[in-house]
Amino acid sequence: MEERGRVAGELERLIDGGTPHKSAVASQVPMPPPRNPRSAIHAKSPITKELGEEDVGMEEVSVVIDGRQPSWLNGVELLEDAKWNKHVLPTGCKGIDILLGGGLREGQLTEIVGPSSSGKTQVCLHSALGVADVHLGVVLFLDTCNSFSPHRIAHMVNSQSDTLVKEGKEGRLKRIMSSILCHSLFDIFELLDVLHQLECKLKHQVKSSGNRIRLLIVDSISSLITPILGGKNSQGRLMMITTGILLKKIANEYNLSVLVTNHMVGGEGGSLKPALGESWKNIPHVRLSLSRDQGSNVCNVSILKHTIIASGRTAKFVIDN
Amino acid sequence: MTDADDPRAWIHGDESAKAMLARVLTERSFLLLPPLHRLPLRVGNVVEIAGPSPSAKSQVLLQAAVHCILPREWRGLRFGGLERMVIYFDLDCRFDVLRLSQILKHRIKEVLGSTNNFGHGVQEGSQEYDDELLLACMRRFLYIRCYDSYEFIAALKTMHSHAQTESEALGVGIQFLMIDSIGAFYWIDRASQPSPYGNCTRKIMSFQNLVESIVEEMRKFLEVQPLLVLASKSCIFFAGSSTTDVQRTPTTWSSEDRNQWRTSNKQIEKFLYREYMPSAWQAFVTHRIHLQVSDKCTYDRKYGTMPIYMSKWVQPPLNVNDQFAVGDGGIFLIT
């Protein structure tokens, strides 16, 4: 927040007509308070001597502004970006993949909501396994409720039919495990810290497709946020929205997919509704609802919200224990 | 200009009323799209589309955007669009370009399909036809994503010059300005107050002041270039969250009662659509419409069961509720 204040202060100082840093030029000519700094460049000034100095001042302002804000795009550039950068990652659960038209999309935040033991962690582990197995990249698993279990992944690997004859089971397991980075956190501030560090690292790393992070999983983001939400205090919602926006920013700028899980709470009339309230509903791109009948292997998944597919569609998939 | 020697020229008007009406109606045409079709919307209007989370607000914006970027006529085929540019501010960061291109392709195929029935023989080159037209339309869609209120204000300040260069390059003007979720940064801006930087006489950037600056920047832009502004606003207060405000009559918790209670209680609705934007924004808005998802579903043979959405004009208040559903090609009304 101090960074934003500093940026805002700098921006205001330059735009409101204060003297810029490089004051050698501007000290001779007082800079007029520009309402539209860029358009002043195109304006024809009658006094040619002042035109040059004003222009240089305006150029400086526009360079600073362009550096601070995200860039303007048009529809064609957006389509190109979606085609070349935003691929689809399969989750490994056939029902979900068919329902979503391929799987989790890079650049999008997907939320899985369900009551306890409805298979949310299984879906997360399956997706991590799927991405790590096919050499797609690295998976970062942020675990907030000790749900990550290497034994379960090993069990899943062993139970899948081994089509590769060359690589032994152990070698495959080793490769998969080394592509999944697991980090435990128990606090919303730790999560924000990790995300900021991740953002810095991604911003400065050299583009290499080998070890690129493709999938970021936060298992049970709701267990971090529900303790701070509630009542008239708005600080909790501030942290929740900040986390959501940061996740979406990382997903879009660095082309990775984010998967979070959420639990359910009691709603009116005794029905269950997703936790985290109304403000959270605007954050994820895709919201899926899982449910499982008692003692059965079959999970039902339905779409609560999706950017393209109509909500209400359902599918079933099998979870192996 | 008028010659000072000829004062008579001052009395003769520039154009007749009929000519002026014809000119204004073509330049500033009305927007009549479902579900906004009940009122004629023109440039200069600011429409706020409010609703809780799954209520198709972004679909309304996308529908209007597609109508704007489609051409009036393309190689002899009539598409009926406005052929103007759209500026889209994505504050929610949830825009999906594939959904926009899906709606666009659907509309193009509809028109191509209906002319194919008359045997115009465009089938051979129809794929390239589609792509060229699609790209031409997408070029008229200007998009920027902001993660912050400060980025939003900075983008508004540079919008004018960018829009000018684009419209000179493409040769068309701008008609619509869309903001997806004007209240996206509400909680962040409300709760955070950066310490005054530099001298203490600089005004503190509270939420009130931020929204005032946003509205001022938009007004400045609209003075130079009149546009129709469509802004979606999400409802962030859940109706049942405060039990002291809502009178609950003790009933049995059966599912039918729950549905009736939820959709018919006026007090809950008032709480749900509670206004949280400051007065600067409220004064800027000229029209308001409320959207909601209803419990009923409709069955369509192509899309299966689809939820029905309801819309209601609140400012100016009309007593009509419309019902619509969202398909692959956009929104269509259900009578």
How distant, in Å, are the alpha carbons of A140, A250, B83 from that of B151? 29, 16, 29
Task: State the smallest CA–CA distance between residue A74 and chain B in angstroms.
Answer: 4
Chain B residues whose CB is inside 8 A of the A70 CB are: 144-147, 151, 155
Q: CA A150, CA A119: separation in Å to the nearest integer?
A: 17
Chain A residues whose CB is inside 8 A of the B144 CB are: 69-73
User: Six-digit token pair at A307?
Assistant: 């950017």
**Coil, helix or strand for A78?**
helix
What is the distance, to the nearest Å, from the Cα of residue A72 to the centroid of all Cα atoms in its chain? Answer: 20
Q: B161 in contact with A at a CB cutoff of 8 Å?
A: yes
Chain A residues whose CB is inside 8 A of the B141 CB are: 74-75, 78
Please check whether residue A262 is in contact with residue A111, taking contact to mean a CB–CB distance below 8 angstroms: yes
Is residue B29 situated within a structural domain? no
Lowest-confidence region among A32-36, A250-254, B50-54: A32-36
Mean pLDDT of A95-106: 89
The one-letter amino acid code at A296 reads S
Is residue B252 situated within a structural domain? no
Q: A114 in contact with B at a CB cutoff of 8 Å?
A: no
Element (H or E) spanning A253, and its range? helix A235-253
Is residue B248 situated within a structural domain? no
Task: State the smallest CA–CA distance between residue A3 and chain B in angstroms.
Answer: 9
Enter the ipTM: 0.83
Lowest-confidence region among A27-41, A76-90, A252-266: A27-41
Mean pLDDT of A178-189: 91
Question: Strand A298-305 to strand A286-292: parallel, antiparallel, or no bridges (unpaired)?
Answer: antiparallel
Percent of chain B whose pLDDT exceeds 70: 81
Greater confidence (A24 vs B299) lies with B299
Please check whether residue B315 is in contact with residue B288, taking contact to mean a CB–CB distance below 8 angstroms: yes
Closest listed residue to residue B284, CA positions, set B47, B92, B57, B61 = B47
User: Six-digit token pair at B295?
Assistant: 């419990």
Q: CA B126, CA A125: separation in Å to the nearest integer?
A: 45
| pLDDT of B200 strictly over 70 | no
| pLDDT of A142 strictly over 90 | yes
Q: Closest-CA residue in chain A for B150?
A: A8
Closest listed residue to residue B182, CA positions, set B161, B210, B154, B162 = B210
Is residue B187 situated within a structural domain? yes
Lowest-confidence region among A162-166, A207-211, A235-239: A162-166
**Coil, helix or strand for A286?**
strand
Please check whether residue A139 is in contact with residue A214, taking contact to mean a CB–CB distance below 8 angstroms: yes
Range of the domain at B167: 41-113+130-193+202-239+265-333
Chain A residues whose CB is inside 8 A of the B274 CB are: none
CA dihedral (A33, A36, A38, A39) positive or negative: negative
Question: Strand B228-234 to strand B174-180: parallel, antiparallel, or no bridges (unpaired)?
Answer: parallel
pLDDT band at B245 (very low <50, low <70, confident <90, very high): very low
B311 bridge partner residues: B291, B322
DSSP class of residue A296 equals: -
Tell me the domains of chain A and their CATH numbers. 87-318 (3.40.50.300)
Considering only CB atoms, B190 lies closest to which of A42, A234, A271, namely A234
Q: B227 in contact with A at a CB cutoff of 8 Å?
A: no
pLDDT band at A246 (very low <50, low <70, confident <90, very high): very high
Chain A residues whose CB is inside 8 A of the B93 CB are: 245, 248-249, 252
Report the phi/psi class of residue A204: left, alpha or beta, with left for phi > 0 and alpha for psi in -120 to 50. alpha
Q: Closest-CA residue in chain A for B153?
A: A69
What is the Rg, in whole angstroms, of the alpha carbon atoms belonging to chain A? Answer: 25
CA angle A20, A23, A27 (to 5 degrees): 110
Mean pLDDT of B165-184: 90
pLDDT for B141: 93
Mean pLDDT of B161-165: 88
Q: CA B266, CA A8: separation in Å to the nearest integer?
A: 42
Q: Closest-CA residue in chain A for B248?
A: A268
Q: B92 in contact with A at a CB cutoff of 8 Å?
A: yes
Greater confidence (B130 vs A199) lies with A199
Mean pLDDT of B141-145: 93
pLDDT band at A6 (very low <50, low <70, confident <90, very high): low
Mean pLDDT of B178-194: 85
Give the CATH number for residue B306.
3.40.50.300
Mean pLDDT of B38-50: 89
CB contact under 8 A, A267 and B191: no
Query: Count of domains in chain B?
Result: 1
Dihedrals phi, psi of B308, to nearest 5 degrees: -100, 135
Centre a 10 Å sphere on the Cβ of residue A115 and count the other Cβ atoms it contains.
Answer: 14
Mean pLDDT of A284-308: 89
Dihedrals phi, psi of A218, to nearest 5 degrees: -120, 100
Q: If DSSP states are collapsed to H, E and C, what string results for chain B?
A: CCCCCCCHHHHCCCCCHHHHHHHHHHHCCCECCCCCCCCCECCCCEEEEEECCCCCHHHHHHHHHHHHHCCCEECCEECCCCCCEEEEEECCCCCCHHHHHHHHHHHHHHHHHHHHCCCCCCCCCHHHHHHHHHHHHHCCEEEEECCCHHHHHHHHHHHHHHHHHHHHHHCCCEEEEEEECCCCCHHHHHHCCCCCCCCCCCCCCCHHHHHHHHHHHHHHHHHHCCCEEEEEEECCCCCCCCCCCCCCCCCCCCHHHHHHHHHHCHHHHHHHCCCCCCHHHHHHCCEEEEEEEEEEEEEECCCEEEEEEEEEEEECCCCCEEEEEEECCEEEECC
How distant, in Å, are the alpha carbons of A93, B10, B142, B227, B332 from that of B29? 50, 30, 21, 11, 21
Greater confidence (A273 vs B25) lies with A273
Question: Can you give the pTM of this predicted structure?
Answer: 0.82
Listed ranges A25-39, B244-258, B269-283; the one with the highest mean pLDDT:
B269-283
Tell me the residues of chain B between 169 and 188 that have a Cβ less than 8 Å away from chain A: 181, 184-185, 187-188
The string of pLDDT tens digits covering residues B73-84 is 888 888 888 889
Greater confidence (A31 vs A74) lies with A74
Lowest-confidence region among A156-170, B29-43, B52-66: A156-170
Q: A245 in contact with B at a CB cutoff of 8 Å?
A: yes
The string of pLDDT tens digits covering residues B281-324 is 999 999 999 998 888 888 877 777 888 899 999 888 888 888 88
Residue A102 CB partners (closer than 8 Å, separation 6+): A88, A90
Listed ranges A83-87, A234-238, B116-120, B215-219; the one with the highest mean pLDDT:
B215-219
Q: CA B81, CA B59: separation in Å to the nearest integer?
A: 17
Q: CA B268, CA B251: separation in Å to the nearest integer?
A: 17
Mean pLDDT of A32-39: 44
Is residue B283 situated within a structural domain? yes
pLDDT band at B3 (very low <50, low <70, confident <90, very high): low
Q: B53 in contact with A at a CB cutoff of 8 Å?
A: yes
pLDDT for B15: 77
| Average pLDDT of chain A, as a whole number | 79
pLDDT band at A11 (very low <50, low <70, confident <90, very high): low
CB contact under 8 A, A79 and B234: no
DSSP class of residue A35 equals: S
